[in-house]
Structure 1
Amino acid sequence: MKTLGQAVSPEEHTLESAIREAALFGGGAGAGYAPVSGGISNSNWRVQLASGRDYFVKLPGNGTEMFIDRKAALDASQKAAAAGLGPAVYDDLAHHGIEINDFIPDRRPSTHADFALRDLRMEAMAAYRRMHGLPALGLTKTVFDMIDEHEAQMRELGSPWPRDTDWIKLNDRMAREALSASGLDLVPSFNDPMPGNFMIGGDGSIMLIDYEYASMNDRCYDLGIWFGEMFFTEEQEAEMIEEYFGKVTPQLVARVTIHKALADVKWAWWSMVQLKVSRLDFDFHKYGMWKLMRFRSITGSPSWATHLRNA
């Protein structure tokens, strides 16, 4: 770990200023810090005080204010913490958009391999039920809103568009019409199921971290985006839909699948925005193209038309 005064990079200088300013850190005397790997939006750090207390500090990534509402993220983090679903969160530097949480060393971030285990999949579904049962969040932002927001940003930034954009937008429009016809089921939604955001305890329990994309959204979006992120089989997805809803119906399968496809468009367009604004060392173009490949595989399947009818 580095100590105050050893900063070299711009991010380290910003972090040191934050450590000195936060009342929680008492001026930062004797504090050490080190980067935390993972995440493709922000700069993440572990801060250890002379007392031995550990904290997680998130510095906003360049341009993230375009699609992250930090006040809404704090609201979601506080409600999740109050429910025991997320770690304690502190608002010392919220006016800077900087998030401070308790560091949770007794838990580890999940991997895709973890959710090959049925018990952990079911524990994650229980975490989603708790998330969806939180008090209403202050921000309503559906996947429709997310896609529209990123498309406007792409036009403004001059981001690259895939050659089959018209075909993607056609399927996007059909998906929206199908879902809207039966109405959206808005609940507090996590919206960001990167494996590292599921923190697993020694007892197999799961805590969720990173609520910066959380909003009121359709519950099937939350399930669909996670199912897609983990590459579950159709049989596994059906099992988890039954675990969550108590039944499996063609409509539930359809709504989860359609939301899975829309999630890939959202994150593909997000990647094209990040390509223009982010300073992180990450191949956003490759990430976005991979998302679109999966979108094409879902919408190009013979079952796509059936899902649209069943939604």
Structure 2
Amino acid sequence: MNARTDITSALGQRVEGAIASVPGLAGGTWRIAALPVASPIHRATASDCVIVDVPGNDPVFIKFRQPDVATTALPSATTAARRAAATGVAPTVIADGSDWLALAFLAPPWRYARVGDLQDLELTTKVLEAKKALHETGLIGEGFSPFAMIETLASEATALGVPLPDETDRLIALARLVRAAISASGIDPCFCHNDGIASNVMIDGNGVQLVDFDLAADNDPWFDVGALINEVCNFDAERHAMVEHYAGHLDERLYNRCRLYGAIDDLMWGLWGVTTAIRTSRTGIEFWKYGAWRLFHARTTFNARDFELWLRRL
């Protein structure tokens, strides 16, 4: 089915407008690349994604940001995507508009990673190396703080009357303690992906590419490491291996920082999920389920026996 026939739809009109503005895409046909899913995987929830096919040329992937989550993306998102592409760890940026981004399409055998894929140590070390390549490019000039995002989402949840799960207020208070502890210990910010979600890693059996740079900006690189570890590792041996691979040695204080950042990442995305569930008019996407699960996972980490030890030894 040729999706271009549905140009009366809101998405169809946006796609047609983007195609018309990009040299070489005129006359191309498009198809949906991925339907939005929040749970059990997290994919295409912030943007409508399409593939544009043009005879004689390589396909182009275009993402159109959803208005109900537009404020989540940073102004530097397009600049960040271009830097990542120039670094060799992300698809080439073809063109961009005010609310869309066109990228080189990663055709099969490329596919998005699942958590199970990234539980392969060899593959996950490649992801760490890709993120480290971003870190080594220096600052990009715009900052990102997961702690600030938590505060913003918590305020929005209050304003919207979101029925937050039990103990969420306590988790937010604990996040402030983590923020103070990490701030006191000091950070060396650099350009970071700021996204540990497995589906924002593309794999093809040999290499990896990173996608979705909506939150990419200057931050503590250990947030990238901690968020990835939190996403894919179930046991300390795996977490230790990730920290050792990135740092070149196993440092207890860096491990502690990663565990705390993992809880912060869970809390941030948990609040995002439950708040988006109330804010959005889109149906059929399990934002609440996703958010509630991330909050549960955050609560598990904050309640861990060693939490106070992690907090004190940074």
What do the CA deviations read for 1:200-255 (whole angstroms, capped 9, x no partner)?
134x2111111111111111111111111114321011011011001112211110
Pick aligned residue for 1:35 from 23, 33, 36: 33
Contact 2:28–2:52 (Cα < 8 Å) also in 1: no
Q: Which residue of 2 aligns with 1:277?
A: 279
Secondary structure of the 2:183 match is helix
Cross-structure match for 1:81: 85
* Matched residue, 1:5: 5
Q: Structure 1 residue 115 and structure 2 residue 118: aligned?
A: yes
Q: Do the aligned partners of 2:112 and 2:203 also contact (CA within 8 Å) in 1? A: yes
Q: For residue 61 of structure 2, what is the amino acid of its counterpart?
A: F
Q: How many residues align?
A: 305
Structure 2 equivalent of residue 97 of structure 1: 99
Do the aligned residues in 2 keep the contact of 1:79 with 1:135 (CA within 8 Å)? no
* TM-aligned CA deviation for residue 30 of structure 1: 4.3
Map 1:1-311 → 2, pairs under 5 A: 1-2=1-2, 4-7=4-7, 9-20=9-20, 22-26=21-25, 28-37=26-35, 38-69=43-74, 71-91=75-95, 93-94=96-97, 96-106=98-108, 107-202=110-205, 204-278=206-280, 279=282, 281-311=284-314
User: Which piece of structure 1 moves more, 295-304 or 47-56?
Assistant: 47-56
Q: 1:156 to 1:236 in 2, by over 3 A?
A: same
8 Å Cα contact 1:40-1:280 kept in structure 2: no
Counterpart Cα distance in 2 of 1:60 and 1:277: 16
Q: Is the CA contact 1:80–1:134 (under 8 Å) kept in the aligned structure 2?
A: no
Distance 1:174 1:124 in 2: 30
Q: 8 Å contact 2:46–2:70 — kept in the other structure? A: no
Alpha-carbon shift at residue 3 of structure 1 (Å): 5.2
- Gap change, CA 1:61 and 1:180, over 3 Å in 2: same
Tell me, yes or no, if the aligned pair for 2:225 and 2:258 is still in contact at 8 Å.
yes
Distance, in Å, in 2 between the alignment partners of 1:56 and 1:280 is 24
Alpha carbons 1:261, 1:295 under 8 Å: kept: yes
Residue 76 of structure 1: CA displacement? 0.5
Kept after mapping to 2: 8 A contact 1:3/1:30: no
Q: Secondary structure at the match of 1:24?
A: coil
CA contact (8 A) 2:150 2:172 kept: no
**Amino acid of the structure 2 residue aligned with 1:249:** D
User: What TM-score do the two structures reach when normalised by structure 1?
Assistant: 0.91
Taking structure 2 as the reference length, what is the TM-score of the superposition?
A: 0.90
Secondary structure at the counterpart of residue 298 of structure 1 = helix
The 1:68–1:84 alpha-carbon spacing in structure 2 relative to 1, beyond 3 Å, is same
Consecutive unaligned residues of structure 1, counting only runs of 5 or more, are: none
Please report the RMSD computed on the Cα atoms of aligned residues, expressed in angstroms: 1.9
CA contact (8 A) 2:60 2:103 kept: yes
- Report deviation, 1:126: 1.0
Residue 182 of structure 1 and its aligned partner are, at CA, apart by 0.6
